[in-house]
Amino acid sequence: MRNLTLASGLALTLAFTTSGAAQEEPIKIGIPVGLSGANSVVAPSVVQSSELAAQEINEAGGILGRQVELVVADDGSGAQGAQRAFDSLVYQDEVDVLISMETSAARNAGLPIVNRSETPYIYTSFYEGRSCSPYMFVNAWVPEQQVTPVVDHFVNELDAQTFYLIGSDYEFGRGMLEFTRQYIEESGGEVLGEEYLPMDASDWTPILSDVRSKAPDAVITSTAGGAPNVTLTKQMRNSGIDVPYGNLAVDEGTAGNMGSDATGIYISQSYLTGIESEENAAFLSAMDEKFGSALETPNDLSVPQYEAIYLYKAAVEQAGTTDKAAVIEALPQVSYKGPRGDIQMNVQHHTPLTMYLGQVEEDGSVSVIQRFEDVDPGEQCPNL
Amino acid sequence: MADSYASSTARNRRRFWLVGLVGLIALTTVMIAPYFLDRYLVNVLIRALFLAVLAITVDLVWGFAGILTFGQSAFFGIGAYACALVATHYGFGPYWFFGAFLIGLAAAALTAWLVGVLSFYHGASPLYSSIITLALPIVLVQIIFAGGRFTGSSSGISGFPTYYWAVETWFVIAGVMLVVIGCFAWLFVRSDLGRILVAIRENEDRCAYLGIPVSRIKIALFTACGSIGAAAGFGYAAFTNVVAPELGGFLLGTESLIWVALGGRGTLIGPIFGAIGIDVTSSYLSGTLPFLWKFIVGVLFVIVIVLLPNGFASLVTGAWRKFGPKRRSADANDERASHSILLRPAPTVTRLGSNGEKPIIIEGLGCRYGSLSVLGDLSFEGRPGELLSIVGPNGAGKTTLMRCISNGSERTAGTVRIAGNEIAKRSPEKVVGLGVGRSFQNTSLFDSLTVGDCLRLSRYRIDGARLLRRTHHVALPKPALGILEATGLDKHLDQETRYLSHGQKRGLELAMVLATEPSVLLLDEPTAGLTKTERTAIGDVLLSLTNSYGLCVILIEHDLDFVRQISDRIVVLHEGRMVLDGSVEEVVSSDLVKSVYSGHAAEVA
Amino acid sequence: MTALFLDIVTTSAILFIVAAGLMIILGVMKLINFAHGAFLTVGGYSAYIVTDYGFSPWLTVPFAAFVGFVLGIAVERLVVRPLYSRPLDAILATWGLGIVITQIIVFAFGRGVQFAESPMSGTLEIFAVGYSAWRLTLVLVAVLLGVGLTALLYLTRFGLNARAVIMNEDLARGLGIDSVKVRVSTFGLGAALACGAGALITPLLSIDPNMGLPWLVNSFMLVLVSGVAIPGLALASLLLGGAQVVVSTFVSPILGGVTIVVFAAILLRIRPKGLFGG
């Protein structure tokens, strides 16, 4: 009974705010993000791009005449923190939408709260795929989109026959490499070894010794971002392994900081700062202007975040309301042309993307080797 | 007698009423609270309440029993994963749900039992059990990681079917769980058994030599707390609908220590508020100030451990003692002082001579540490009613001999038979069961326990201990009662032992050993540090033990005058060998002994 | 096979280097320093500062050791000194201290991964295989460290005093040894070793606020298994480090991660005082 009154009370307030009684009432966008923990390295860049999007929208008159307000909450990059963050955003701040990149653990932890509250949620991080909820949309890549360019290039251009896969032992690491193995075998290659280390481990020695003894034509790694990725790359370079090396988890910024160890690494992304388009140029100069020396390099997580806020704007404008159900209905129908090109979350709540295969140069910059148009995410959520 | 019994049950009833009343108030609060709090706070509180249950178990294990555990989170994790795994992979419904609950409890209990068996053996250092509890969550998390799709690896499992009851309902469930477990824990720590936990914390070794099965009690406690932790974890998972490896991880384990330490270990209520306070505050602050908040908690933790070992609860109790209503508490003290515990004679048992066996026979006993032989080829026996003194210069191996008789795992050769039973490799508490009582060179007692508590716990082997009640009478054998009267201790049953004089401590220790109803009494320098009069009194007591009660007393003594006055027989040890075994006259007149004792010869003469 | 051998030797050497500081503190002070992980991290960041200011990467280790020594002395005075009689509480207090140090590092350097220049890179030819040069160097460092610490304990005045305090503190004090001073310098030395070790392992690792934490538990286990003696620590590192490499290579790298913990728990059950303990 109590619950019913509460729910209807909530609905009433919503009805009031949406019926235009309170023009000044801002639209609240909740951003649960890993300010601490594993994601703390990339989180600041995501917050920055969100701030830019909000500023641009507000300066241009807001959404349906209402201003946009960001509510950022730390999720500690983990399940427990994510629950707190989602709870506080949904029930305390009563946000209209959740838009964020997060670890898989944090996303999984937050989803029940999204489902319970029926809040629209745009997930802006690449991930291992096949996470489905009627309220969640994804505008970043899944293995089907990211792995294929790397493997195709290695097999077709570099004549690689044998592969060795190394990953961090978590859902993303395993999910990516599982798909990679499948795809390599479909392409006629052979996987000589597939090994994992726990996420907090830092000594890759035994695995690297195995790599050396098996002498594969190419190595593909998918570790957790940050420390594990860096330690693996450093130790691999230190142990003298110099076969083509595809790193599914490194971003441009980290590659640039890593110095000589990163040279020659192949990466596959839906966003690189070097994309030549009007939208990207405008975005980069706006970011530069707003943050100056404090700017965190825009990357494959912060750009989808930026675009997602515009996608939400488009959906609200199409629906003519911030009513949650109406927005959810509109979300897959709208598209937005951002730094990564045209983005529409219309394939089972996932997004076809243009992917770029890049290689890290000696000065730390990434040169684009090949471009793959509109790569389909494949069967992610057949029930949606 | 009937009178005392009535008053003791009345006191117990009063305690139950008090706990019941507090429990009821707490329950009412729990029922009403969700309707006055905003929804977010209710959500946060539900989780905090489950964590507070975990904090209670940490407090029982660490605060009361003194086992520093880093691994309580592992049981929480086991319970949580039981909920998630069964619902995800097997089925969901009332029976499945309840089944999963039982599976979680059983799995946690089994794990805790195994850990307990591994780490709580006699002589284990407290550090070793901490190491094991440290290893436990690390191993558990690796298992979860390695479980791939089944356990969800590092991402955990979410969205499994559960009861989507209203948050108010969940609040009541969590609250009731906390209140019920809190009340039981409260009754438990104030019960006879609870006192024994404190005794184990303060002096584990002494407990073992009083015949208290220390290892078994610790294992049982750890197992019980493991299941309670699992129950909390199960509730947590069922409510949040998410499990992740961090729920069973080392960091949650240390975090729970922080709650307990800040709240006040050994206070129950402190840890509860510690857990709820820190968790709720961090929910509000971590969103905006994640790093600062961690920093503050870290600094507070260090300060509390260094300066305020009993946590913030000690500030409150300290203030209460200082500014609280003084008169009433004084009254309460008086009342307690007069009657809170009653002594009465225990029914006499006739263990000695029951099977015609000698109380103690030692044959070919030897003890060596590596290449060093401390004792070699000792053989002698003790008869009922005999007072046997063991003398010898320092380092002759007297105390080692005591150890070899009272602990089966000490000697390296030979046999010790107590009333016909081989002690074999028995642990001290089992040797006590055969009828060996041992007092120590230093008066090692339990500082924070009262005289009455000490006496009660030394009766554990014979009378057991109540789980939730405090008994208010202690049945003691006559000789023990005699000592208490002689030393005036029977008037100070509510005094904490640290306030006793040295002589009183000696007397109490002897009474405690006698309370275990030994047939062989091993005394290691019972007169050390006593005045002449006290010495004479102890001598009289010993004589009456042998003469009137037929005990076999084996005494180590340096004061040879005293030995000569009271002994029936003397065994002389020198460099681990038996030099002489004879009557007082034989020993006193022996030249050999004089040469052994060259320095002390004058005393013997 | 050669690779396996080299893996075992180098892994053991790294473990030895990392655990040495913890052992010195436990040996002399009977105190388990759970801030050890944070000290390693401080060493890593010291290395970062040195190379960030453009000094030679070879200066990272001495600088880190110096920072550690100063830090150790401060910590001993502020936190550790009141806890000598409460060893279990000392574990908790130093753990809390570790949290505080980590947060201070976050305030100062941010949460991200930092990079320090390595003194050397690439491989060296040994036994007809190319092997990581830095790992091979660490073997040499471990040997020198072991010899150096032994010499310190047995050939110097400080060592004599420290050993006296280890054996019988009251007696040592009676003989006029300033046990407080011995403790301060021991804690300083232990912290210096920890920070130095942190700088030594950075060429293999990334520098981030939590870099030391995974090493803490393993070091702790090694030190207990060693029986708190230098040869014991060497043996324990070889034995458990070897077991870790073997399990990682032949069974699974994931199980390799818990090998040291599990083996140590079993070994300590059989020999509670460790390999070299009485």
pLDDT tens digits, residue range C11-56? 999 999 999 999 999 988 888 899 999 999 999 999 999 998 989 9
Phi, psi of B551 (to 5 degrees): -70, 155
Distance CA B242, CA B156 (A): 7
Query: Chain B partners of C256 at a C-beta cutoff of 8 Å?
Result: none
What mean pLDDT comes out for the span B248-252? 90
Say whether pLDDT at B282 is over 80: yes
Q: Domain coordinates of chain B in residue numbers?
A: 2-255, 360-604
Q: Among C123, C204, C214, whose Cβ lies nearest the Cβ of A234?
A: C204
Q: Is residue C241 part of a domain?
A: no
User: How many CB atoms neighbour CB C130 within 10 A?
Assistant: 14
Contact assignment for C96 to B128 by CB distance below 8 Å: no
pLDDT in tens, A216-256: 999 999 988 777 888 898 889 888 888 999 998 887 877 87
Q: How far is CA B127 from CA B135, B246, C26, C224, in A?
A: 12, 24, 12, 10
Q: With cut-offs at 50, 70 and 90, classify the pLDDT of residue B353.
A: very low
For residue B444, what pLDDT is reported? 67
Beta-bridged to residue A368, according to DSSP, are A358
Say whether pLDDT at A18 is over 60: no
Q: Among A209, A234, A257, whose Cβ lies nearest the Cβ of C3?
A: A209
For residue C277, what pLDDT is reported? 61
For residue B337, what pLDDT is reported? 42
What angle (nearest 5°) sits at the alpha carbon of residue B565, between those of residues B562 and B568? 115
Q: How far is CA B86 from CA B78, B81, B97, in A?
A: 12, 8, 8
- B contact residues 248-287, partner A, Cβ 8 Å cutoff: 282-284, 286-287
For residue C255, what pLDDT is reported? 82
Tell me the CA end-to-end span of chain C in Å, nearest whole number. Answer: 36
Q: Among C95, C262, C268, whose Cβ lies nearest the Cβ of B139?
A: C262
Say whether pLDDT at A14 is over 50: no
**Better pLDDT: B378 or B596:** B378
Contact assignment for A87 to B142 by CB distance below 8 Å: no
Q: Is residue A382 part of a domain?
A: no
What mean pLDDT comes out for the span A175-185? 92
Contact assignment for B298 to C96 by CB distance below 8 Å: yes
Per-residue DSSP letters for B7-70?
A: HHHHHHHHHHHHHHHHHHHHHHHHHHGGGTS-HHHHHHHHHHHHHHHHHHHHIIIIIIT----S
Distance CA B446, CA C268 (A): 29
Query: Chain A partners of B286 at a C-beta cutoff of 8 Å?
Result: 36, 74, 76, 81, 84
What mean pLDDT comes out for the span C201-221? 88
Q: Is residue A23 part of a domain?
A: yes
| Residue of chain A minimizing CA distance to C8 | A206
For residue B538, what pLDDT is reported? 83
Say yes or no: A242 contacts chain C, CB-CB below 8 A.
no
Q: Among B44, B142, B148, whose Cβ lies nearest the Cβ of A174?
A: B148
Say whether pLDDT at B338 is over 50: no
Least confident of B496-505, B511-520, C190-199: B496-505
Chains B, C: CB contacts within 8 A come to 94
Q: Is residue C127 part of a domain?
A: yes
Q: Is residue C271 part of a domain?
A: no
Whether residues A124 and A224 share a domain: the answer is: no
Smallest CA–CA separation between C82 and chain B, in Å?
7
The domain containing residue C142 runs over which residues? 17-212
| Angle of the B94-119 helix axis to the B214-240 helix axis, nearest 10 | 150
Q: Is residue C233 part of a domain?
A: no
User: How many CB atoms neighbour CB C30 within 10 A?
Assistant: 14
| Residue of chain C minimizing CA distance to B120 | C269
Smallest CA–CA separation between C90 and chain A, in Å?
26
Contact assignment for A201 to C113 by CB distance below 8 Å: no
Query: Chain A partners of B44 at a C-beta cutoff of 8 Å?
Result: 84, 87
Closest by Cα among C85, C107, C109, C81 to C94: C81
Whether residues A183 and A38 share a domain: the answer is: no
Distance CA A115, CA A112 (A): 5
pLDDT in tens, A103-151: 888 898 899 899 889 999 999 999 888 889 999 999 999 999 999 999 9
Q: Among C111, C121, C211, whose Cβ lies nearest the Cβ of A238?
A: C121
What angle (nearest 5°) sits at the alpha carbon of residue B315, between those of residues B309 and B318? 110
pLDDT in tens, B123-169: 777 888 888 898 899 899 888 887 877 888 777 888 788 888 888 89
The structure tokens listed for A15 are: 């009805």
**What whole-number percentage of chain B has pLDDT above 90?**
24
| Residue of chain B minimizing CA distance to A104 | B155
Q: Complex ipTM above 0.85? A: yes
CA A130 to chain CA mean position, Å: 14
Say whether pLDDT at B208 is over 80: yes
What angle (nearest 5°) sits at the alpha carbon of residue A256, between those of residues A250 and A260? 100
Tell me the CA end-to-end span of chain B in Å, nearest whole number. Answer: 53
Contact assignment for B302 to C97 by CB distance below 8 Å: yes
Contact assignment for B295 to C97 by CB distance below 8 Å: no
- Rounded to the nearest integer, the mean pLDDT of chain B is 84
For residue B1, what pLDDT is reported? 42
Least confident of B113-117, B181-185, B251-255, B533-537: B533-537
Say whether pLDDT at B288 is over 70: no
Burial of residue A346, with CB atoms counted within 10 A of its CB: 0-12 exposed, 13-18 middle, 19 or more buried:
middle
Q: Total domain count for chain A?
A: 2
Distance CA B540, CA B544 (A): 6
Smallest CA–CA separation between C199 and chain B, in Å?
24
What mean pLDDT comes out for the span B217-231? 96
Q: With cut-offs at 50, 70 and 90, classify the pLDDT of residue B497.
A: confident
Q: With cut-offs at 50, 70 and 90, classify the pLDDT of residue B205.
A: confident
For residue B170, what pLDDT is reported? 93
Residue owning tokens 């339990």: B446
The domain containing residue A239 runs over which residues? 143-269+356-375
For residue B180, what pLDDT is reported? 95
Contact (CB, 8 A) for C268 and B128: yes
Whether residues A233 and A369 share a domain: the answer is: yes
Q: Is residue C198 part of a domain?
A: yes
Decide if B2-255 and B360-604 have a common fold.
Answer: no
Contact (CB, 8 A) for A221 and A248: yes
Q: How far is CA B385 from CA A325, B512, B536, in A?
A: 92, 20, 19
Closest by Cα among A256, A227, A33 to C112: A227
Say whether pLDDT at B244 is over 50: yes
Contact assignment for B139 to C261 by CB distance below 8 Å: yes
**What whole-number percentage of chain B has pLDDT above 70?**
91
Q: With cut-offs at 50, 70 and 90, classify the pLDDT of residue C204.
A: confident
Say whether pLDDT at B116 is over 80: yes
Say whether pLDDT at A175 is over 70: yes
Query: Chain B partners of A6 at a C-beta cutoff of 8 Å?
Result: 39
In angstroms and rounded to an integer, the radius of gyration of the C-alpha atoms of chain B is: 28
- Which amino acid appears at position B574 of this protein? H
For residue A6, what pLDDT is reported? 39
Residue owning tokens 């060795």: A164
- C contact residues 123-182, partner B, Cβ 8 Å cutoff: none
**What whole-number percentage of chain A has pLDDT above 70?**
94
Best probe of the C interface among B68, B151, B305, B374, by most C CBs < 10 A, is B305
Q: Is residue C6 part of a domain?
A: no
Least confident of A96-100, B5-9, B554-558, C139-143: B5-9
| Residue of chain B minimizing CA distance to A169 | B145
| Residue of chain C minimizing CA distance to B370 | C278
Q: With cut-offs at 50, 70 and 90, classify the pLDDT of residue B34.
A: confident
Whether residues A155 and A248 share a domain: the answer is: yes
Helix (H, G, I), strand (E, B) or coil at B522: strand
Q: Which chains touch B (3 or more CB pairs under 8 A)?
A: A, C
Say whether pLDDT at B388 is over 60: yes
Q: How far is CA C250 from CA B440, C4, C12, C215, in A?
A: 53, 10, 18, 23
Q: What is the dihedral of CA B438, B443, B448, B449, to 10 degrees?
A: 40
Q: With cut-offs at 50, 70 and 90, classify the pLDDT of residue A5.
A: very low
For residue A1, what pLDDT is reported? 39
Q: Which chains touch C (3 or more CB pairs under 8 A)?
A: A, B
Chains A, C: CB contacts within 8 A come to 99
The structure tokens listed for B193 are: 């058994």
Closest by Cα among A328, A324, A332 to A349: A332
What mean pLDDT comes out for the span B22-39? 87
Using beta carbons and an 8 Å cutoff, which residues of A are at the interface with B?
2-3, 6, 35-36, 72-74, 76, 78-81, 83-85, 87-88, 91-92, 103-105, 108-109, 111-112, 115-116, 133, 169-172, 174, 198-199
Using beta carbons and an 8 Å cutoff, which residues of B are at the interface with C?
68, 118-119, 123-128, 130-132, 134-135, 138-139, 142, 145-146, 250, 254, 257-258, 261, 291-292, 294-295, 297-299, 301-302, 305-307, 309, 369
Say yes or no: A215 contacts chain C, CB-CB below 8 A.
no
pLDDT in tens, C114-173: 888 888 877 888 877 788 888 999 999 999 999 999 999 888 888 888 888 888 778 888
**What whole-number percentage of chain C has pLDDT above 70?**
99
Contact assignment for B287 to A74 by CB distance below 8 Å: yes
**Better pLDDT: A58 or A2:** A58
Contact assignment for B39 to A91 by CB distance below 8 Å: yes
CATH label of the domain that carries residue A59:
3.40.50.2300
Q: Total domain count for chain C?
A: 1
Per-residue DSSP letters for B525-582?
A: STTTT--HHHHHHHHHHHHHHHHTT--EEEEE-S-HHHHHHH-SEEEEEETTEEEEEE
CATH number of B2-255: 1.10.3470
Query: Chain C partners of B299 at a C-beta cutoff of 8 Å?
Result: 96, 100
Q: With cut-offs at 50, 70 and 90, classify the pLDDT of residue B186.
A: very high
Q: Is residue C251 part of a domain?
A: no
Contact (CB, 8 A) for A380 and A349: yes
What mean pLDDT comes out for the span C179-200? 93
Query: Chain A partners of B145 at a C-beta cutoff of 8 Å?
Result: 169-170, 198-199
Whether residues A223 and A365 share a domain: the answer is: yes
Q: With cut-offs at 50, 70 and 90, classify the pLDDT of residue A23.
A: low
Say whether pLDDT at A367 is over 50: yes
Contact assignment for A209 to C4 by CB distance below 8 Å: yes
Contacts of C199 (CB under 8 A, 6+ apart): C43, C44, C46, C47, C60, C61, C63, C64, C65
Q: Among B123, B132, B305, whose Cβ lies nearest the Cβ of C89?
A: B305
What mean pLDDT comes out for the span B325-330? 45
| Residue of chain B minimizing CA distance to A83 | B240
For residue B450, what pLDDT is reported? 86
Beta-strand runs (E) in A206-280: 218-222, 245-247, 266-269
Q: Selecting from 3.30.750.210, 3.40.50.300, 3.40.50.2300, 3.40.30.10, what CATH number does the domain B360-604 have?
A: 3.40.50.300
For residue B443, what pLDDT is reported? 67
Beta-strand runs (E) in chain A: 27-33, 68-74, 97-100, 121-123, 136-138, 162-168, 190-197, 218-222, 245-247, 266-269, 336-338, 341-343, 353-360, 366-375
Query: Chain A partners of B156 at a C-beta cutoff of 8 Å?
Result: 79, 105, 108-109
Least confident of A160-174, A207-221, B460-474: B460-474
What mean pLDDT comes out for the span C217-227? 90
